[in-house]
Amino acid sequence: MSAQPTLDPANPFAVPSALPYGLPDYTAIREEHYLPAFLAGMAQQRAEAAAIAADPEPPTVENTLVALERSGRLLDRVSAAFHNQLSSDATPALEAIEEQVAPLLAAHHDAIWLEAALAARVDELGRQADEGALDLEPDTAYLLERRRVAHRRAGAGLPDEAQARLRQINERLTTLEAKFGRTLLAATNAAAVLVADEHELAGLPDDAKAAAAAAAERHEQPGRWLIDLILPTDQPVLAQLESRALRRRIFQASSTRGLGGEHDTGPLLLEIAALRAERAQLLGYAHHADYVASDLTIHGADAVAELLGGLVGPAVANARAEAAALQEALERDEPGARLEPWDWSFYAQRVRRERRALDGSAMRPYLELDRVVEQGVFRAAHLVFGLTFARREDLTGYHPDVRVYEVFDTDGTGRALFLHDPWTRDSKRGGAWMNTLVDQSHLLGERCVVVNNLLNIPKPPPGEPTLLTWDEVTTLFHEFGHALHAILSDVRYPSQSGTAVPRDAVEYPSQVNEMWAWEPEVLRGFAVHHVTGEPMPTEWVRTLLDARQDGEGFATTEYLGAALLDQAWHRLTPDEVPATPQDVEAFERAALEQAGIADAPVPPRYRSTYFNHVFSGGYSAGYYSYLWSEVLDADTVTWYQEHGGLRRENGDAFRAAVLSRGGSLDALDAFAALRGRAPDIAPLLARRGLAAPA
Residues marked active site are found at 479
Whether 85 contacts 26, CB under 8 Å: yes
Question: How many residues are listed for the chain in this entry?
Answer: 694
Question: What whole-number distance in Å separates Cα of residue 485 and Cα of residue 480?
Answer: 9
Question: What whole-number distance in Å separates Cα of residue 400 and Cα of residue 394?
Answer: 13
Burial 423-455 (b: 16+ CB within 10 A, else e): bbbebbbbbbbbbbbbbbbeebebbbbbbbbbb
DSSP character at residue 232: S
Enumerate residues 6+ apart whose C-beta is below 8 A from 195: 201, 212, 224, 225, 226, 227, 246
Question: What whole-number distance in Å separates Cα of residue 277 and Cα of residue 211?
Answer: 44
- As beta bridge partners, residue 441 has 446
Residue 488 main-chain phi, psi, to 5 deg: -90, 5
Hey, is 407 helix, strand or coil? strand
Question: What whole-number distance in Å separates Cα of residue 22 and Cα of residue 584?
Answer: 45
Please, where are the H alpha helices in 71-137? 73-88, 92-113, 116-130
CA-nearest of 283, 196, 272 to 617 is 272
Helix orientation angle between 625-642 and 552-570, rounded to the nearest 10 degrees: 140
Inter-CA distances, 90 with 31, 94, 181, 182, 450, Å = 11, 6, 11, 9, 19
Residue 295 Rama label (left phi>0; alpha psi -120 to 50; beta): alpha
CA-nearest of 674, 691, 666 to 633 is 674
Question: What whole-number distance in Å separates Cα of residue 457 and Cα of residue 463?
Answer: 16
